[in-house]
Structure 1
Amino acid sequence: MPVIAWGPTAFIVDKVDLVEQPSFSSGRAVFRTTTPVVMKSSGKDDSGVRTSRQAWCLPGEPEWDVYVEGNLRRKAESLGLDGELSLDAVTWIGPKRSFTVSSANGRGGRKPGACVEVAVSGPPQTLTALQSWGLGQANSAGMGWIGL
């Protein structure tokens, strides 16, 4: 296909190069995102009372690691892969950034996040699939894409 229409933008495709996917045979991967990772948190305060329905959390905040690990496990299970994964470390956090994204209702909104580098352990096939999918939420909107 020589032209890809993505919303109001047309991309002209001159050449496609296949990139070999990493195998992660050791069962460990280091993922560094090229776009910010966004995650919703529980929206609860220290006493456990919900204070917000739409609370975003950033890398380095208390709930972030737990929610990212759960998100990775759900993605693996959605693909029918082994979800025995662990987020071993957050090794780098970029600056906070906010992006306006569209939604099905056309209103859209702002999503805050930050690029990150994380160390993850799990089955090699699952890590390979996650490398293509991305970290966090809103991957189809361009958030949490992992570089090669």
Structure 2
Amino acid sequence: MTVVYILLAALICYALLLLFRQQADLKDRITRLEREKDETEQILLRFMEQVNGMTESDSKSTLEPSLQVDAQGFSPSEQVLHSETDPDTGQPEVKKIVHEEPVVTQEQEMTDVKQALQEGTDIEALARSLNRGTGEVALIAKLSHQTKVAPR
């Protein structure tokens, strides 16, 4: 009977050894997956910052031509009205109507994602206001050193 107890104890010890080995393997796998996830997030964040930089430079280049003055000296926001000739001078009258467009600076457009989330803003509403995905907004808030972003 003693031999049976010894064999049973050896079998239980072997089973415990296998369980501890599986647990150690799972912990190693979890740490490896977390490290890969962090690397992937960093790569994705760099990609998003590059795309942000490209879209900002594109938006700046599209804003600059719209503010340029055309050959006649009128900017596109001014409307020119030609009327009949002026009876006094015989020259055609030119009237300008200027449409004031609100000038939006880049600082006004920027939203501090981390601060907005700390103030309790809903992440989905914030993502919609910035025309971005909720995952992208979460990544910006979590990983970026510069959390101020402009809407697309």
Same fold (TM over 0.5): no
The structure with the largest strand share of the pair is 1
Q: TM-score, normalised by structure 2?
A: 0.19
Give the greater-gyration-radius structure (CA): 2
Q: TM-score, normalised by structure 1?
A: 0.19
Asked which structure has the greater RCO (Cα within 8 Å, sep 6+), the reply is: 1
